[in-house]
Protein backbone atom coordinates (compact mmCIF):
# COMPACT_ATOMS: atom_id res chain seq x y z
CA UNK A 1 0.00 0.00 0.00
CA UNK A 2 1.23 3.44 -0.91
CA UNK A 3 -0.12 6.44 1.04
CA UNK A 4 -0.11 9.78 -0.78
CA UNK A 5 -0.68 13.13 0.95
CA UNK A 6 -3.06 15.59 -0.69
CA UNK A 7 -3.13 19.39 -0.45
CA UNK A 8 -5.72 19.07 2.31
CA UNK A 9 -4.20 18.22 5.69
CA UNK A 10 -5.56 14.94 7.02
CA UNK A 11 -6.68 13.66 3.62
CA UNK A 12 -4.71 10.85 2.00
CA UNK A 13 -5.07 8.72 -1.12
CA UNK A 14 -4.25 5.05 -0.59
CA UNK A 15 -3.01 3.14 -3.61
CA UNK A 16 -3.61 -0.51 -2.84
CA UNK A 17 -1.59 -3.44 -4.11
CA UNK A 18 -3.79 -5.78 -6.10
CA UNK A 19 -2.64 -9.39 -6.34
CA UNK A 20 -4.09 -11.23 -9.34
CA UNK A 21 -3.98 -14.89 -10.27
CA UNK A 22 -6.17 -17.49 -11.96
CA UNK A 23 -8.66 -17.33 -9.03
CA UNK A 24 -9.22 -13.58 -9.16
CA UNK A 25 -7.92 -10.67 -7.07
CA UNK A 26 -6.78 -9.99 -3.51
CA UNK A 27 -6.53 -6.48 -2.02
CA UNK A 28 -5.45 -5.56 1.53
CA UNK A 29 -7.25 -2.35 2.55
CA UNK A 30 -6.05 -1.85 6.13
CA UNK A 31 -2.53 -2.36 7.47
CA UNK A 32 -2.02 -0.96 10.96
CA UNK A 33 1.77 -0.57 10.74
CA UNK A 34 1.53 1.39 7.48
CA UNK A 35 -1.18 3.62 8.94
CA UNK A 36 0.87 4.14 12.11
CA UNK A 37 3.91 5.18 10.05
CA UNK A 38 1.82 8.07 8.69
CA UNK A 39 0.28 8.92 12.07
CA UNK A 40 -3.16 7.79 10.92
CA UNK A 41 -5.69 6.41 13.38
CA UNK A 42 -6.54 2.86 12.32
CA UNK A 43 -8.56 1.93 15.38
CA UNK A 44 -11.79 1.56 13.44
CA UNK A 45 -14.94 1.08 15.54
CA UNK A 46 -17.52 0.57 12.83
CA UNK A 47 -17.68 -0.68 9.26
CA UNK A 48 -20.53 -0.47 6.76
CA UNK A 49 -21.21 -0.25 3.03
CA UNK A 50 -23.69 1.32 0.65
CA UNK A 51 -24.95 0.13 -2.73
CA UNK A 52 -25.85 2.99 -5.06
CA UNK A 53 -27.48 3.30 -8.45
CA UNK A 54 -25.96 5.42 -11.20
CA UNK A 55 -26.31 9.20 -10.57
CA UNK A 56 -26.85 8.82 -6.81
CA UNK A 57 -25.10 11.47 -4.74
CA UNK A 58 -24.51 10.66 -1.09
CA UNK A 59 -23.15 13.46 1.05
CA UNK A 60 -21.64 15.68 2.18
CA UNK A 61 -21.51 13.78 5.51
CA UNK A 62 -19.51 14.03 8.75
CA UNK A 63 -19.95 13.75 12.51
CA UNK A 64 -19.36 16.60 14.91
CA UNK A 65 -17.52 16.41 18.25
CA UNK A 66 -17.49 14.54 20.50
CA UNK A 67 -18.30 11.83 17.93
CA UNK A 68 -16.21 13.18 15.06
CA UNK A 69 -14.16 10.55 13.32
CA UNK A 70 -11.63 9.68 10.69
CA UNK A 71 -12.95 7.57 7.86
CA UNK A 72 -11.49 5.11 5.37
CA UNK A 73 -13.46 4.76 2.12
CA UNK A 74 -12.95 2.49 -0.89
CA UNK A 75 -14.97 0.94 -3.69
CA UNK A 76 -15.58 -2.82 -3.59
CA UNK A 77 -17.46 -2.87 -6.90
CA UNK A 78 -18.27 -0.16 -9.44
CA UNK A 79 -17.01 3.37 -9.85
CA UNK A 80 -17.57 6.67 -8.01
CA UNK A 81 -16.51 10.28 -8.04
CA UNK A 82 -15.44 10.83 -4.43
CA UNK A 83 -15.45 14.36 -2.95
CA UNK A 84 -14.02 15.75 0.29
CA UNK A 85 -14.58 19.32 1.58
CA UNK A 86 -12.47 20.97 4.29
CA UNK A 87 -14.84 22.49 6.89
CA UNK A 88 -12.17 23.30 9.53
CA UNK A 89 -12.42 27.04 10.12
CA UNK A 90 -8.74 27.57 10.98
CA UNK A 91 -7.40 25.30 8.24
CA UNK A 92 -5.33 26.87 5.47
CA UNK A 93 -7.50 24.89 3.03
CA UNK A 94 -10.87 25.78 4.61
CA UNK A 95 -13.53 25.64 1.87
CA UNK A 96 -11.27 23.75 -0.53
CA UNK A 97 -12.37 20.45 -1.94
CA UNK A 98 -10.63 17.40 -3.36
CA UNK A 99 -12.10 14.89 -5.77
CA UNK A 100 -10.93 11.61 -7.18
CA UNK A 101 -12.49 8.93 -9.34
CA UNK A 102 -12.33 5.58 -7.58
CA UNK A 103 -12.85 2.43 -9.61
CA UNK A 104 -12.86 -1.07 -8.16
CA UNK A 105 -10.80 -2.19 -11.16
CA UNK A 106 -7.88 -0.05 -9.93
CA UNK A 107 -8.06 -0.31 -6.12
CA UNK A 108 -7.70 3.05 -4.43
CA UNK A 109 -9.01 4.27 -1.09
CA UNK A 110 -9.09 7.57 0.72
CA UNK A 111 -8.41 8.30 4.35
CA UNK A 112 -10.48 11.25 5.53
CA UNK A 113 -9.46 12.98 8.75
CA UNK A 114 -11.68 14.76 11.26
CA UNK A 115 -13.28 18.01 10.16
CA UNK A 116 -13.66 16.98 6.53
CA UNK A 117 -17.06 16.45 4.88
CA UNK A 118 -17.38 13.48 2.52
CA UNK A 119 -19.65 12.55 -0.34
CA UNK A 120 -19.67 10.76 -3.66
CA UNK A 121 -21.46 10.38 -6.98
CA UNK A 122 -22.06 6.84 -8.22
CA UNK A 123 -20.88 6.61 -11.83
CA UNK A 124 -22.57 3.27 -12.55
CA UNK A 125 -25.29 1.01 -11.20
CA UNK A 126 -24.53 -1.11 -8.16
CA UNK A 127 -21.50 0.84 -6.90
CA UNK A 128 -20.57 -0.72 -3.57
CA UNK A 129 -18.69 1.64 -1.27
CA UNK A 130 -17.24 0.43 2.03
CA UNK A 131 -16.56 2.74 4.96
CA UNK A 132 -14.61 2.25 8.19
CA UNK A 133 -14.92 4.88 10.95
CA UNK A 134 -12.97 5.50 14.16
CA UNK A 135 -16.16 6.22 16.12
CA UNK A 136 -19.56 4.52 15.88
CA UNK A 137 -22.46 6.20 14.15
CA UNK A 138 -24.11 8.87 16.30
CA UNK A 139 -27.56 9.95 15.13
CA UNK A 140 -27.28 12.94 17.48
CA UNK A 141 -23.97 14.15 16.00
CA UNK A 142 -24.23 13.09 12.36
CA UNK A 143 -24.82 15.93 9.94
CA UNK A 144 -23.75 17.32 6.60
CA UNK A 145 -23.40 20.16 4.14
CA UNK A 146 -25.65 20.55 1.11
CA UNK A 147 -23.96 18.84 -1.83
CA UNK A 148 -24.64 21.74 -4.20
CA UNK A 149 -23.43 24.63 -2.04
CA UNK A 150 -19.64 24.76 -2.46
CA UNK A 151 -19.19 25.17 -6.23
CA UNK A 152 -18.34 21.56 -7.07
CA UNK A 153 -19.49 20.44 -10.54
CA UNK A 154 -20.49 16.81 -9.78
CA UNK A 155 -19.60 15.73 -13.32
CA UNK A 156 -22.22 18.09 -14.75
CA UNK A 157 -25.05 15.79 -13.70
CA UNK A 158 -28.44 17.49 -14.12
CA UNK A 159 -30.84 15.31 -12.10
CA UNK A 160 -28.96 13.46 -9.37
CA UNK A 161 -30.73 11.01 -7.09
CA UNK A 162 -30.44 12.38 -3.54
CA UNK A 163 -32.11 11.60 -0.23
CA UNK A 164 -34.42 14.19 1.34
CA UNK A 165 -32.08 14.33 4.33
CA UNK A 166 -29.08 15.22 2.15
CA UNK A 167 -31.10 17.80 0.19
CA UNK A 168 -32.04 19.56 3.44
CA UNK A 169 -28.53 19.96 4.85
CA UNK A 170 -27.38 23.52 5.53
CA UNK A 171 -25.41 25.27 2.79
CA UNK A 172 -21.65 25.56 3.20
CA UNK A 173 -21.92 29.36 3.42
CA UNK A 174 -24.45 29.20 6.28
CA UNK A 175 -23.01 26.23 8.19
CA UNK A 176 -21.43 27.12 11.55
CA UNK A 177 -18.58 24.63 11.74
CA UNK A 178 -17.50 23.30 15.17
CA UNK A 179 -14.11 22.36 13.71
- Average pLDDT over the chain reads 96
With cut-offs at 50, 70 and 90, classify the pLDDT of residue 113. very high
| CA–CA dist 22, 113 (Å, integer) | 37
Say what the pTM is: 0.95
Residue 118 neighbours by CB under 8 Å, 6+ apart: 59, 60, 61, 62, 71, 73, 82, 83, 84, 85, 112
Segment 28-45 mean pLDDT: 95
Amino acid sequence: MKIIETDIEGLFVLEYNCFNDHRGNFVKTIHQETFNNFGLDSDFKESFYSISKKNVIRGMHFQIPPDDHSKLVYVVSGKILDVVLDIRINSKTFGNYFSIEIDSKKPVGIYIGKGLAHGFLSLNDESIVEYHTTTPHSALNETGINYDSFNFNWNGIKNPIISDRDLNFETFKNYKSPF
